[in-house]
Structures are given as structure tokens and as C-alpha cells.
């Protein structure tokens, strides 16, 4: 479509400009044929359908979220992402060209190249990093953000599936060295700087070895690693490695507990009231010392709780999570699901002394804020640091039909009775653990502000609602500072029955 | 009635002998008036109704089990119990006199003398020994054998209630030194030899301080002893002291759990199917390292059990005790009673590492017997060493309306599904822990023999009974050596429905 413009000369320029602008909509043309004189066809290196090429030197682009491709092309064009090959190409692209290319590539689903082979030990090492990470050292699992099948999460998190090992390890190295900037939150920069070169290589090898659509599985050796529980100090505790989960009925129940923890709606369907999973508040499968680890919880129950005025067993405590955080139904104390969760916690606590409350129990306490937390300031923090994962609308992000990042408000989030609804708890969690890979980067005041902003958003009502918002607040929220329960926001009384529905009718 | 015999001389001897033998029935006469020329009136020292005298020097005899008084008088008469005062008196008594005195004294209920005072610290120390003992050093609590109100247990265990401190400590000292023999099992000899002179003094002071019918209470300080749980080695574990049970709702639940453990029929009435309590198999309130202590159990559940083919939580495990050992109904997993028991176990396990099975877990294993265990030999061991507490008929012994020693068979004992029905487990328990205060004194072979004897006695049927004895045995007992399930004894097929009823119709 472009050749006639050149052939018919200057007289045709007006018409050609029109054709050009129309042609820009056809991303396929730019990818397959390029823009003569300005841009070499993307297909030359990346393949006509974005399948990648050069035996892995040129990345697969097919299926990338359009917004991600757009961001990257604009970064090449503007110079914030350096590449001797891509920068000159991107310079020749208009915004409309970029949009067209990105839209075209997002729709492509070419077959993946045959998975390359690698030494089993390297693949297993990579598998562990991809599915488990090394959270304690600030390296979340790849699946935590890129999705369970590494398919990417629109709009900004790319698919890793189908990329070559060569490309993936080069990008990790570029993030690590700073050669490739990792966006405003520098998430991948922080994560890559926490990885050794062996780890980067093996992660890349493992991802490249996956077949199309394959979901990386947590590595489970046929013969569990021998593990003899030994007494451990409660304040320097390390749970047993994943690979030590024994075989047999006990190990199966531990794994079921872990599955419920990781994907509650799938494995405890009857009790789940929203799309949240236990892991959303208790990172690293309940192991992370900064987000109320389950090993620490296990050893300090039974304990009296003011919340219900009862001594709670660990079962009763978890029933509370289902009722409030899950906005669902409490599993019976002897249900298979609750027994599985408790067995998982018990296994994780191996060696920890009973009744000695580890320092890691609960969420970290943040100092009181200097200025009263402000939802208006918090909204700005949210926009800058939280939308990547939780969305502009706070409803979280899904990919491949599974919730990857949890909704923070709305009908699929925790209700007004949940612990995470308490501003101080949320602030502590946000400060230390958010965003993934960049915990500790927000200021204390930012954490308080964004916590109170999230707290001021509508969510399902407290199942203990009694008579009026005032009375319910007096019964259950009187001693929590800053929380919005019972306050009016946008003309709606938060916490009152029906508020969420009114809000949703207005917003959607 | 006796004077005429002397007055009318030899001619009257035949008639007098008759009168004498008739008069001997009137224990009151001997006690109040004595037998002129032969026996000084008991009342001279012990009071007309056996209330004791000499400001505590002469013991209270009122309410003693008749058999106990009889044994003691015969021991004085025969010389096996030495006393410069009592021996000459006893020499003058016929068997019939002794019987009459013992029967009269058993029926007396004179008021107790005013309780003497003593330093609070001494009384508290004594209270602890009386109600808690020092089981780990072979000193059971006094209440374990003498009854909850120290009222004695017929036929052979005397009342301690109402005795003077002077008399009680003198007797403990006499047992310790061997001056007073403590019967064939030498129980009080062993126990007294485990006590210091301070302990004997304070025990006596405390008992003497009790008011009529008062039940010694486990000491519970108004302000609990400060106790900070610290990590402990699983094989040298010491549970927190009783005095450290905290106040408030958590401590109250711990105490309720302990109460259920100590007196199951009273505190878990809805679930108890017989007169047994948890403490009957788990000595020292579940603390004793030799009888499957609850602190050791707590840290190794959840665990897979072949018995039901499931991973059992601690709640499920205790439900099994109610179903089989208690021959009752399993409390719901979240019932107040089960939560209280589990909270008590949790508190007791303070500092013990999770998932590290202590050596003390379960019952001690006994080496295989040299000769196949024989119920005939076992019956002899039983008669010599077990009847004192468990009775000739195996039905245990009660006092003051409360079961003091548990029934080992019959309708009020554990059923065929209980762990204690397994011969090896029973043999290990008997060898190490029976009788109270004399654990380890039976030979291994005796322990095996008496265990198999007890095992061969009828008891309530297994609630899992399925179709036939053969099938039920194959399902649940095929891998237990020596047990009598499904064998014929005295013409009755053990374990079959109705066997116990047939046996009871024959025996009673």
C-alpha cells in the first residue's frame, strides 16, 4: 500500500499521507513489510506473527499485552530503554504505528518453538525460582506477578512464556546492571539485583523449557528430601523446604493445605466468598516473616481474642479468615479443608516451640503517622504505586481466568470485619511488603495514606452488622483509629448494608 | 457383760465364753469400756467414738474402713506393726473382738477437732504435695489413692482426714524408716522414702488443717506465678508449673481442660460413657513422661493414624479416646469441652518444638515376653498386686461417690476398640506405672501376664463392630499379638455383642 506513494511522487503526498495514516492501523503491514525507508519489517527478526527468531536472540512478541508493547516501543523511541537495534526502528514509528503494532501482536498465537533441553539440575533450580522464588531475600516467584502460566498480566506485565533462555537471561542481566530501566517502581531492577548469575541462567532455562500453556508446577521430588525436624529459635526460624513434604497421606494433606492456601476459590470452593486466596495477605505461601506467617500463628493458638471474646483454636482463627477476609463461609472445625490448612501450618512450624510467640507473629507495626492519614494523598500514592497490580479501580488483575493480583475493594474483596480492614494493620503490611519485590520503599506516611485510601473504599458489609452502622462500629471498631467504618464518602455511608451495591451502580 | 464371767468362776466358763463371743459383737463395749483384765478401753486414748485424742498423739479411728482397722489390729497383735502401746492391747483381742471394734469404728462420724493453724507457706507446700504430688520422683498425690477428700478407700486405704499433724508425720517417718511396715506392696514405704522431712511435715500440717469433708484443692495462687515459656529440649521437657496457669479467659479454659482431664464424667458428662477419666491412663494430670503425656501428644499431631486411615488433628485423636477408652460419644471438634482439653495440652506443651516427637510420646515399649503371656499366671499377679486398688472383681474402687481407682473390665471400663485393650500397650503401662508409687517393681513377664489377664476379661463391645467377631478382628486387631478379641473365655466369645451382658448375668 505504501509503494504507490513513492512512485507517484510529491503530488501524491497528500493522498499518501492519508493512506499512510490509514495504513498505520494495519499493524500486520508494519510487522510483515515494515515502513519503507523508515522502519525495517519487525518480521525480519521477530517473525511475521511475533514468534521470535534468531534462535532466541530476538524475543517472542506474540500475545504480549498491547500496553506493554506500546510502553516498550515508546521507551526505545524516547531512549529510556537502550538498544542499538531497536532504538533506530522505534524512532521511525508514530504513536499510531506503535498502537497498531501492539494491537496486532497481542492477538497473535503462533505455535511455540520446541522446548530446548537443559541439565535436569539446572531446570529444577529454575523451576524452584519460578514457582517459589526466594521471598526472604526479596525475590518473589515469577508466577506471583506474571501469572500462573507466565502468560503476563495486562496491561503492563509481559508474558515470559515462549521466550528463549538467551533473551530472558539477557534481560535479567540488563535489569540487574541498569542497562534496561525497569519502570517507575524499578520492580524488576530490584528483583534482578537480588539474583545471582546462576539463578538468572537457570530461571531463563526453565522458562524456555516450558511447553505452550504449561503451568509451572512447584517442584516435588519423587523421593522427598530427608528432613528431620529439629528445635529452632523462634526468632530465626526457617520452615522446612518445600522439597521435604513427605509422601503418603500426611504429605498429601500438607500439599492440599498448601493448595488451598495458594488458590482458595479453587480448592475450598464451598467456603470461598470472593476471589481472594490466603496467599494474598500471607506472602510466600504463608512463610514470609513480614506478613503474618502461618508457622508463627500455629504456635500461639489457642489464644484469647477480643474479636469474639473466646479462646480461639487455630481452627477457629482460620474460620475467621474465611468469614471476613474471604467474605465466605467458615469451614466446619473438622472439615477436610480446615484440617488440611492446619496440617500445612503444623508442618511449616516444624521445630518451633509451642507457646513462644515469635517476633514475626502478626503484621509489622508501623509508627504512628506524623500527619493524620489522608485518603486524598493516599489516592495519589495508589495511582503511582499500586495500579500496576491492583488496577485503577482497585479490583485487582486477572490473567488466564485466574486472579493474579487481589481486589482491594468492591464485591470481590474482604469485608468490613476483616483484619486487613484495620488501617494500622494494612499500613504495616503495605509498608513492609508492597509492591512485590519493593517492600520498604514507600515512606511511612505514604503507607498510612494509601492504607486509609483503600480503607475508605466500599466493600462487602460486616457479617456481624447489628441494627445500625453506629452500633456495629461501637461493637467492633471503636478502638481502631482512622478507619472509615461508618463515615460518609462520596455521599454513601460506608459499612451500611447496600452501600456497596449503590457504589457499584454509580461506578459501573 | 463381762464381769459376771469373772465373778461366777470356772463353772461359768462355758456360759461366759458364749457371752464373750456374743459380747464381742458389741464393738462399742470394747471401745468404751475395754475388756477388763485384758484390754484397756480404746476410748482412753482414741475417744469413745474414735475421734482421736492426746492433742493428736492418738489417731482418729472414726470412719476408717473396717478392713483397714482389722488389718492394723492384727498387725499389732502379730508383731508386724510394732507399737509399745498397741501391741499389748492387740494381743488381748480375739478375731471376733477385732471385727467388732473395726465395724463399730467404721460407722462413727464424730465432729473433727478444730483445724490447727500453721504458716501459710508450709500449708501451701503441703497442699501441693497432697493434691499434685511429685510424680516425676515417684511421689503420687495423696488424693490419688486416699480419695478426693482423703476419706480413705475401703477396704484397705485409710482415711487421712481429721488426723493430727503429729500422728501423720510420725507415721510417714515410720514408713520411711521401715519401723512401720507398709504391707505386701510396700507402697507407703516407697512413697515415704521419696519424701524429705520437710515434705512429710508440711503434708501432715496441711491435711490436719482441713475441715470436715473438705476436698483439698489444687493450689491456685490469686496472682499466677510469672512464667515465660522458653524453648526446651523435647527429651528433657518440664511442663510449666501448675501455679503458672494464667488468670483470665485463657487460664480459665486451661483449668477447665484440666478439670475434664481429672474428672471426665463430672466435667464432660454429655460425652462420658463410663466412670473413667483421662487421668486414669495419663498419670499426673497428663504430665507423667511414662504414661503418654499430653505435652508429647500435642506436638506430634496432626499425624496419620492407621486406626482410622486419616491424618488426625489432636482434636480427632482425643475424640478417639472418648469413643473407645471412655466408651462414650466423641465431642464435636469445636465443642467447648474439646477446645478446653486441647488448650490444656497446648499450655502444658509450652516450649516444646512442634513436629519433633519426644521420646516420651506414647507408652513405653516392653521387650517381647520370654514365655507367651498367660492369663492364668496373670490372675495370680492380679490377686497379689492389683486388687488393693482395682478390686477382686476388676471393677475398681470408689469412695465418697467418686471413682478413685478405675474399673479394668466390665461395663464401666474401656471398650474393645481402646488403645489400652492392646496387650503390648497395657503391659508397658503396667510395668512402668503400676501400682502407684511402685512402678517398675513387677517383672516384665508379670506385666505381660497380668496385661493379658485383664485383656481376657469381658468389656463393652467395639463400636466399630462389623458383621462378626472374625471380621471385626480382621479389620481392627489382626496385627496385635496376644489379644483376646474373638477368643472364647469361660464359654463366652469375647468381643461379640452381648458377651458382656451374659458375663454380668453370670457373675452378679
Evaluate whether B311 touches A253 at the Cβ level (below 8 Å). yes
Q: Taken in order B167, B170, B176, B178, is the CA torsion positive or negative?
A: negative
Q: What is the pLDDT of residue B502?
A: 92
pLDDT in tens, A367-426: 999 999 999 999 999 999 999 999 999 999 999 888 999 999 999 999 999 999 999 999
Residues of A in contact with B320 (CB under 8 A): none
Q: Which of B232, B303, B343 lies nearest to residue A302, judging by beta carbons? A: B343
With an 8 Å Cβ cutoff, is B311 touching chain A?
Answer: yes
DSSP code string of B389-445: HH-TTS--EEETTEEEE--SSSTTS--TTSGGGSHHHHHHHHHHH-STT-TT-S-HH
Residue A284, C-beta contacts closer than 8 angstroms, at least 6 positions apart: A132, A133, A135, A136, A140, A291
Q: Is the pLDDT of residue A165 over 80?
A: yes
Do A353 and B248 make contact, defined as CB atoms within 8 angstroms?
no
Q: What is the pLDDT of residue A339?
A: 98
Q: What is the pLDDT of residue A320?
A: 97
Q: Is the pLDDT of residue B22 over 60?
A: no
For testing contact with chain B, the best of A346, A347, A357 (most B CBs within 10 A): A346
Q: Taken in order A204, A210, A214, A219, is the CA torsion positive or negative?
A: negative
Residues of B in contact with A355 (CB under 8 A): 229, 346-347, 349-351
Q: Is the pLDDT of residue A162 over 70?
A: yes
Do B354 and A230 make contact, defined as CB atoms within 8 angstroms?
no
Alpha-carbon gap, residue A106 to A188, rounded angstroms:
22
The fraction of chain B above a pLDDT of 90, given in percent, is 72
Three-state DSSP at B493 gives: strand
Going by the DSSP 8-state scheme, the letter that residue B328 receives in this structure is S
Do A349 and B354 make contact, defined as CB atoms within 8 angstroms?
yes
Q: What is the pLDDT of residue A329?
A: 98
Q: Is A350 left (phi over 0), alpha (psi -120 to 50) or beta?
A: beta
Give chain B's end-to-end CA distance (angstroms, integer). Answer: 41
Nearest to A344 by CA among A444, A433, A267: A267
With an 8 Å Cβ cutoff, is B350 touching chain A?
Answer: yes
Residue B169, C-beta contacts closer than 8 angstroms, at least 6 positions apart: B200, B201, B203, B204
Instruction: Count A/B contacts: CB-CB distance under 8 Å.
Output: 124
Nearest to B107 by CA among B49, B22, B53: B49
Strand ranges inside B98-250, DSSP E: none
Q: What is the torsion angle, in degrees rounded to the nearest 10, for the CA atoms of residue B403, residue B408, residue B414 and residue B415?
A: -150
Alpha-carbon gap, residue A21 to B234, rounded angstroms:
78
Nearest to B187 by CA among B156, B210, B215, B151: B156
pLDDT in tens, B226-270: 899 999 999 999 999 999 999 999 999 999 999 999 999 999 999
pLDDT in tens, A218-237: 988 888 888 999 999 999 99
Average pLDDT, chain A: 90
Radius of gyration of chain A (CA): 25
Q: What is the pLDDT of residue B79?
A: 87
Going by the DSSP 8-state scheme, the letter that residue A10 receives in this structure is G
For testing contact with chain B, the best of A310, A322, A355 (most B CBs within 10 A): A355
Q: Which of A250, A299, A311 lies nearest to residue B250, judging by beta carbons? A: A311
Beta bridge partners, A398, equal A403
Instruction: Tell me the C-alpha to C-alpha distance, in Å, between residue A403 and each of A127, A135, A161, A407, A413.
Output: 21, 20, 18, 9, 12
Evaluate whether A105 touches A50 at the Cβ level (below 8 Å). yes
Alpha-carbon gap, residue B457 to B489, rounded angstroms:
8
Residues of B in contact with A232 (CB under 8 A): 353
Do B352 and A353 make contact, defined as CB atoms within 8 angstroms?
yes
As given in the structure block, the three cell numbers for residue B34 are 475395754
Interface of B with A in 242-271 (CB under 8 A): 248-250, 253
The mean per-residue pLDDT over the stretch B109-134 comes to: 88
CB atoms within 10 A of CB A281: 22
Q: What is the pLDDT of residue A3?
A: 40
Alpha-carbon gap, residue B61 to B159, rounded angstroms:
9
Looking up cell 506478613, which residue turns up?
A291
CB atoms within 10 A of CB B137: 8
The mean per-residue pLDDT over the stretch B397-418 comes to: 94
Beta bridge partners, A163, equal none
The mean per-residue pLDDT over the stretch A464-489 comes to: 87
With an 8 Å Cβ cutoff, is A306 touching chain B?
Answer: no
Average pLDDT, chain B: 90
Do B229 and A302 make contact, defined as CB atoms within 8 angstroms?
no
The fraction of chain A above a pLDDT of 70, given in percent, is 94
With an 8 Å Cβ cutoff, is A84 touching chain B?
Answer: no
The mean per-residue pLDDT over the stretch B420-428 comes to: 95
Q: What is the pLDDT of residue A37?
A: 85
Evaluate whether B446 touches B388 at the Cβ level (below 8 Å). no
| Lowest-pLDDT range of B6-10, B100-104, B264-268 | B6-10
With an 8 Å Cβ cutoff, is A353 touching chain B?
Answer: yes
pLDDT in tens, A322-335: 999 999 999 999 99
Q: Is the pLDDT of residue B18 over 50?
A: no
Alpha-carbon gap, residue B358 to A356, rounded angstroms:
18
As given in the structure block, the three cell numbers for residue B494 are 469375647
| Most confident among A336-350, A494-508, B15-29, B155-169 (mean pLDDT) | A336-350
Q: Taken in order B52, B55, B56, B58, is the CA torsion positive or negative?
A: negative
Alpha-carbon gap, residue A383 to A450, rounded angstroms:
10
Residues of B in contact with A315 (CB under 8 A): 313, 315, 333-334
B422-436 in b/e burial notation, b at 16+ Cβ within 10 A? bbbbbbbbbbbbbbb
Residues of A in contact with B316 (CB under 8 A): 334, 339
As given in the structure block, the three cell numbers for residue B503 are 458375663
Alpha-carbon gap, residue B411 to A440, rounded angstroms:
66
DSSP code string of A159-206: --TT--HHHHHHHHHHHHHTSB--TTTTHHHHHHHTS-HHHHHHHHHH
Interface of B with A in 192-231 (CB under 8 A): 229-231
How close, in Å, is residue B284 to chain A by CA atoms? 21
- More reliable by pLDDT, A256 or A162: A256
pLDDT confidence bin for B192, thresholds 50/70/90: very high
Give me the interface pTM, i.e. the ipTM. 0.86
Q: Is the pLDDT of residue A25 over 60?
A: no
Give chain A's end-to-end CA distance (angstroms, integer). Answer: 42
Q: Taken in order A219, A222, A227, A229, is the CA torsion positive or negative?
A: positive
pLDDT in tens, A303-324: 999 999 999 999 999 999 999 9
Q: Is the pLDDT of residue A195 over 50?
A: yes
- More reliable by pLDDT, B89 or A291: A291
Alpha-carbon gap, residue A156 to A390, rounded angstroms:
12
As given in the structure block, the three cell numbers for residue A300 are 500461639
The mean per-residue pLDDT over the stretch B22-37 comes to: 80
- More reliable by pLDDT, B214 or B115: B214
How close, in Å, is residue A338 to chain B by CA atoms? 10
List, in sequence order, the alpha helices (H) in B273-419: 283-286, 294-298, 314-320, 336-348, 375-385, 387-390
With an 8 Å Cβ cutoff, is A238 touching chain B?
Answer: no
For testing contact with chain B, the best of A311, A312, A342, A361 (most B CBs within 10 A): A311
User: Three-class SS string for A228-253?
Assistant: CCCCCCCCCCCCCCHHHCCCHHHHHH
Alpha-carbon gap, residue B469 to B461, rounded angstroms:
10
Q: What is the pLDDT of residue B1?
A: 36
As given in the structure block, the three cell numbers for residue A89 are 526502528
Residues of A in contact with B302 (CB under 8 A): 250, 253, 339, 342-343, 346
Helices (H) and strands (E) in chain A, counts: 24, 6
pLDDT in tens, B285-317: 999 999 999 999 999 999 999 999 999 999 999
DSSP code string of B189-216: HHHHHTS-HHHHHHHHHHHHHPPTTPPP
CB atoms within 10 A of CB B45: 17
Residue A154, C-beta contacts closer than 8 angstroms, at least 6 positions apart: A65, A66, A67, A68, A397, A399
Evaluate whether A450 touches A386 at the Cβ level (below 8 Å). yes
Q: What is the pLDDT of residue A374?
A: 96
Alpha-carbon gap, residue A284 to A280, rounded angstroms:
9
The mean per-residue pLDDT over the stretch A129-158 comes to: 93
Q: Which of B230, B353, B355 lies nearest to residue A347, judging by beta carbons? A: B355
For testing contact with chain A, the best of B232, B303, B311, B317 (most A CBs within 10 A): B311
- More reliable by pLDDT, B222 or B381: B381
Q: What is the pLDDT of residue B11?
A: 44
Q: Taken in order A419, A421, A426, A427, is the CA torsion positive or negative?
A: negative
Do B304 and A249 make contact, defined as CB atoms within 8 angstroms?
yes
Alpha-carbon gap, residue B341 to B316, rounded angstroms:
12
With an 8 Å Cβ cutoff, is A307 touching chain B?
Answer: no
With an 8 Å Cβ cutoff, is A339 touching chain B?
Answer: yes
pLDDT confidence bin for A508, thresholds 50/70/90: low
Q: What is the pLDDT of residue B508?
A: 57
Distance of CA A502 to the CA centre of its chain: 29
Amino acid at each position: 500500500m505504501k509503494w504507490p506513494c513513492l512512485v507517484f511522487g510529491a503530488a501524491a503526498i497528500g493522498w499518501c499521507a492519508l493512506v499512510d495514516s490509514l495504513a498505520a492501523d494495519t499493524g500486520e503491514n508494519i510487522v510483515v513489510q515494515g515502513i519503507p525507508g523508515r522502519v525495517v519489517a519487525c518480521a525480519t527478526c521477530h517473525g511475521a506473527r511475533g514468534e521470535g527468531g534468531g534462535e532466541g536472540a530476538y524475543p517472542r512478541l506474540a500475545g504480549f499485552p498491547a500496553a506493554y508493547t506500546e510502553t516498550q516501543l515508546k521507551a526505545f523511541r524516547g531512549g529510556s530503554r537502550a538498544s542499538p537495534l531497536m532504538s533506530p526502528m522505534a524512532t521511525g514509528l508514530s504513536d499510531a504505528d506503535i498502537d497498531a503494532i501492539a494491537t496486532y501482536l497481542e492477538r497473535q498465537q503462533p505455535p511455540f518453538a520446541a522446548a530446548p533441553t537443559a541439565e535436569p539440575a539446572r531446570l529444577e533450580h529454575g523451576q524452584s525460582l519460578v514457582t517459589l522464588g526466594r521471598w526472604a531475600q526479596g525475590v518473589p516467584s515469577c508466577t506471583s506477578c506474571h501469572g500462573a502460566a507466565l502468560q503476563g498480566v495486562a496491561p503492563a506485565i509481559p508474558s515470559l512464556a515462549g521466550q528463549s533462555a538467551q533473551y530472558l537471561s539477557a534481560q535479567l542481566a540488563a535489569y540487574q546492571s541498569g542497562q534496561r530501566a525497569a519502570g517507575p517502581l524499578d520492580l524488576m531492577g530490584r528483583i534482578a539485583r537480588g539474583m545471582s548469575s546462576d539463578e538468572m541462567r537457570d530461571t531463563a532455562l526453565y522458562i524456555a523449557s516450558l511447553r505452550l500453556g504449561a503451568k509451572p508446577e512447584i517442584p516435588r521430588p519423587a523421593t522427598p528430601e530427608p528432613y528431620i525436624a529439629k528445635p529452632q529459635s523462634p526468632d530465626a526460624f526457617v520452615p522446612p523446604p518445600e522439597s521435604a513434604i513427605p509422601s503418603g497421606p500426611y504429605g498429601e494433606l500438607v500439599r492440599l493445605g498448601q493448595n488451598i492456601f495458594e488458590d482458595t476459590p479453587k480448592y475450598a470452593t464451598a467456603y470461598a466468598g470472593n476471589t481472594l486466596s490466603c496467599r494474598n495477605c500471607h506472602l510466600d505461601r504463608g512463610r514470609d516473616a513480614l506478613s503474618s506467617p502461618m508457622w508463627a500463628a500455629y504456635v500461639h493458638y489457642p489464644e484469647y481474642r477480643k474479636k469474639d471474646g473466646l479462646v480461639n483454636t487455630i481452627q477457629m482463627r482460620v474460620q475467621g479468615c474465611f468469614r471476613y477476609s474471604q467474605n465466605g463461609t467458615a469451614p466446619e472445625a473438622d472439615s477436610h479443608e480446615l484440617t488440611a490448612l492446619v496440617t500445612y501450618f503444623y508442618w511449616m512450624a516444624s521445630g518451633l516451640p509451642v507457646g513462644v510467640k515469635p517476633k514475626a507473629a502478626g503484621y509489622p507495626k508501623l509508627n504512628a503517622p506524623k500527619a493524620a492519614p489522608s485518603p486524598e494523598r493516599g489516592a495519589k500514592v495508589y495511582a503511582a504505586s499500586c495500579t500496576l497490580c491492583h488496577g485503577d479501580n482497585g479490583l485487582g488483575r486477572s490473567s488466564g481466568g485466574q486472579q493474579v493480583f487481589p481486589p482491594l475493594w468492591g464485591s470481590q474483596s474482604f469485608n468490613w470485619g476483616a483484619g486487613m480492614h484495620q488501617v494500622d494493620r494494612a499500613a504495616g503490611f503495605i509498608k513492609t511488603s508492597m509492591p512485590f519485590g519493593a517492600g520498604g520503599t514507600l515512606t511511612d506516611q505514604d503507607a498510612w495514606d494509601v492504607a486509609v485510601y483503600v480503607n475508605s473504599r466500599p466493600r462487602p458489609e460486616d457479617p456481624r452488622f447489628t441494627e445500625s452502622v453506629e452500633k456495629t462500629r461501637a461493637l467492633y471498631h471503636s478502638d481502631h483509629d482512622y478507619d472509615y467504618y461508618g463515615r460518609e464518602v462520596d455521599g454513601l455511608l460506608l459499612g451500611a448494608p447496600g452501600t456497596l451495591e449503590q457504589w457499584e451502580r454509580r461506578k459501573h
